[in-house]
């Protein structure tokens, strides 16, 4: 079976995504936003540590996670209704304004706990709008045959932001203070807004500029791209459905509300023969991996006498493996037998995670982490590409909202469970249990013919 949408004709040859100036503009916008996120988070954490108790620090950092997780699917519905680019731009611009206001407040007076809590809550809401919208953009800027490349380059940017963001934030805070660090996020988010604004969508030029028509045109362009059809300048035809005039209040009132759109998105995914099992695999694998790598790793390194340097080396090994696979897919492009390969990669991660916890030497743990990173890079890139190519363009924002929720919605629970399990047993045991869980998920998925035989365009 094919995971992608069927082609209406031969797909025209296109340049590789890494040579497409429009894709590079999108990557610049996405990447600078990621870097801004890292600088923001580290600066926020450091500021909170200086003025709050450990319990209060935990509450401050957790305050943004709740609205983000709760509103991701709603944010996806907003992107589907008003257009992914429009939603991404407005939410990105909101980050600029919020951080500019916070910078001015901190410049005038010392930061307070109330200010930091308010900031994290607002950021959580903004993230719930930005993440699904930004995730829904790739199918609207490239041919389906280039989506795997774009997703692998996106994964590379995520790794680079994780590696470069915290040191940059630490340097700015240490050398210039919190005000300059917060000010740097304003600049980074402003660059992100400019680059995203310059990114062109495969949208018919004759489409109406109203929000409803904008979203409709985006969906139509996504469907055209999925069928290998070049964008045209022709306006939407009557068969595409009526375009809501900007001033027609009665027509807009007849449209379903955001809650109805959200529920429709949930029903769509629940009834989809490929998306639902794929999102379940992603969710379980992410939950199983997040706890040991974030909570269990410092405990393991401490118990083995590897110290803080051990944590850094193991994470570096994992990142190197994930980066290697992302680079490989960026160069290769289309991956044959993608369904089977992605699920085998999930199974490779399982024993590798267990080996990290069972290793008696730091070198062995680093090697095991590298292998786990290789598997993670493969399955993250291919599964996210499957989700993009399998989704109805009109539902893509909501699907990406659920994808984001599956990726990190269960992380706080995983952190807590890992801590409890480490107390009851040992830090190494948390990795073994995680590895078993991931292996079982991969094995069960391989028995599902829908996932095993899925192919990318």
Q: Which CATH superfamily includes the segment(s) 17-225?
A: MFS general substrate transporter like domains (1.20.1250.20)
Query: 53-57, 61-65, 233-237: which has the highest mean pLDDT?
Result: 61-65
Q: What is the pLDDT of residue 210?
A: 38
What does the pLDDT read at residue 52? 77
Model confidence at 11: pLDDT above 50: no
How far apart are alpha carbons 188 and 35 in whole angstroms? Answer: 7
Residue 153 has pLDDT above 60, yes or no: yes
Question: With 60 as the cut, is the pLDDT of residue 90 above it?
Answer: yes
Q: Percent of the chain at pLDDT above 70?
A: 85
Choice between 368 and 41, residue whose per-residue pLDDT is larger = 368
Among candidates 176, 151, 137, 189, which has minimal Cα distance to 26? 137
Q: Counting beta carbons within 10 angstroms of the beta carbon of residue 295, is it exposed (0 to 12), middle (13 to 18) or buried (19 or more)?
A: buried
Q: Which residue has the higher pLDDT, 260 or 228?
A: 260
Instruction: Over range 366-390, report the average pLDDT.
Output: 87
Query: Sorting pLDDT into bands at 50, 70 and 90, what band is 386?
Result: confident
End-to-end Cα separation, the chain, in angstroms = 11
Question: Does residue 193 carry a pLDDT above 90?
Answer: yes
The greatest distance separating any two alpha carbons of the chain, rounded to the nearest whole angstrom, comes to: 70
Distance of CA 240 to CAs 139, 216, 220, 221, Å?
Answer: 19, 9, 8, 12
In which residue ranges of the chain is CATH 1.20.1250.20 found? 17-225, 269-452
Q: 269-452 in CATH: which number?
A: 1.20.1250.20
The residue that leads in pLDDT, 220 or 453, is 453
The pLDDT, as a whole number, for residue 431 is: 93
DSSP 247-295: T-HHHHHHS--HHHHHHHHHHHHHT-TTHHHHHHHHHHHHHHHHHIIII
Range in 117-126, 215-224, 261-270 with the lowest mean pLDDT:
215-224
Residue 1 pLDDT:
42
Residue 303: strand, helix, or coil: helix
Question: Tokens for 410?
Answer: 């269960």
Query: Model pTM?
Result: 0.73
- Out of 3-12, 259-268, 282-291, 310-319, the most confident range is 259-268
List, as one string, the DSSP characters of 192-206.
Answer: HHHHHHHPPPS--TT
Cα dihedral 36, 40, 42, 43 sign? positive
208: left (phi over 0), alpha (psi -120 to 50) or beta: beta
Query: What CA–CA distance (Å, rounded) separates 335 from 342?
Result: 10
* Confidence band for 95, pLDDT divided at 50, 70 and 90: very high
Choice among 25-29, 116-120, 374-378, 405-409 with the minimum mean pLDDT: 405-409
DSSP letters, 428-450, are HHHHHHHHHHHHHHHHHHHT-HH
Q: Mean pLDDT throughout 353-381?
A: 90
């Amino acid at each position: 079976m094919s995971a992608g949408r069927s082609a209406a004709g031969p797909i025209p040859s296109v340049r590789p995504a890494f040579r497409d100036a429009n894709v590079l503009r999108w990557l610049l916008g996405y990447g600078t936003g990621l870097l801004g996120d890292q600088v923001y988070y580290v600066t926020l954490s450091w500021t909170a540590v200086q003025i709050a108790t450990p319990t209060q620090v935990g509450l401050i950092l957790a305050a943004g996670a709740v609205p983000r997780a709760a509103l991701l699917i709603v944010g996806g519905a907003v992107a589907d209704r008003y257009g992914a680019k429009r939603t991404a731009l407005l939410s990105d611009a909101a980050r600029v304004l919020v951080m500019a206001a916070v910078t001015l407040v901190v410049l005038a007076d010392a930061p307070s706990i109330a200010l930091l809590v308010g900031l994290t809550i607002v950021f959580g809401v903004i993230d719930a709008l930005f993440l699904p919208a930004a995730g829904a953009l790739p199918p609207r800027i490239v041919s389906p045959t280039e989506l795997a490349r774009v997703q692998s380059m996106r994964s590379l940017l995520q790794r680079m932001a994780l590696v470069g963001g915290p040191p940059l934030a630490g340097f700015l805070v240490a050398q210039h203070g919190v005000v300059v660090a917060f000010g740097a996020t304003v600049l980074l988010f402003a660059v992100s807004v400019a680059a995203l604004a310059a990114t062109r969508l495969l949208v018919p030029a004759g489409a109406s500029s109203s929000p409803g028509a904008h979203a409709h045109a985006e969906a139509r362009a996504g469907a055209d791209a999925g069928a290998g059809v070049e964008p045209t300048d022709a306006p939407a035809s009557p068969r595409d459905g009526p375009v809501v005039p900007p001033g027609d209040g009665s027509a807009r009132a007849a449209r379903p509300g955001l809650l109805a759109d959200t529920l429709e998105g949930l029903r769509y995914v629940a009834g989809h023969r490929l998306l639902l099992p794929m999102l379940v695999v992603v969710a379980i694998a992410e939950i199983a991996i997040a706890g040991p790598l974030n909570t269990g790793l410092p405990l393991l390194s401490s118990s083995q006498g590897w110290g803080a340097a051990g944590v850094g080396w193991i994470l570096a090994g994992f990142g190197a493996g994930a980066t290697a696979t992302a680079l490989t897919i960026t160069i290769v492009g289309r991956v044959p037998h993608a369904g089977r390969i992605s699920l085998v990669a999930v199974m490779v991660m399982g024993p590798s995670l267990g080996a990290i916890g069972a290793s008696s030497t730091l070198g062995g743990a680093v090697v095991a982490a590298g292998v786990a990173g290789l598997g993670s890079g493969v399955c993250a890139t291919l599964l996210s590409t499957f989700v993009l190519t399998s989704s109805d363009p009109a539902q893509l924002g909501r699907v990406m909202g659920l994808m984001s929720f599956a990726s990190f919605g269960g992380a706080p629970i995983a952190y807590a469970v890992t801590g409890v399990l480490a107390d009851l047993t040992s830090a190494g045991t948390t990795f073994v249990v995680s590895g078993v869980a991931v292996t079982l998920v991969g094995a069960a998925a391989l028995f599902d013919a829908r996932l095993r035989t899925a192919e990318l365009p």
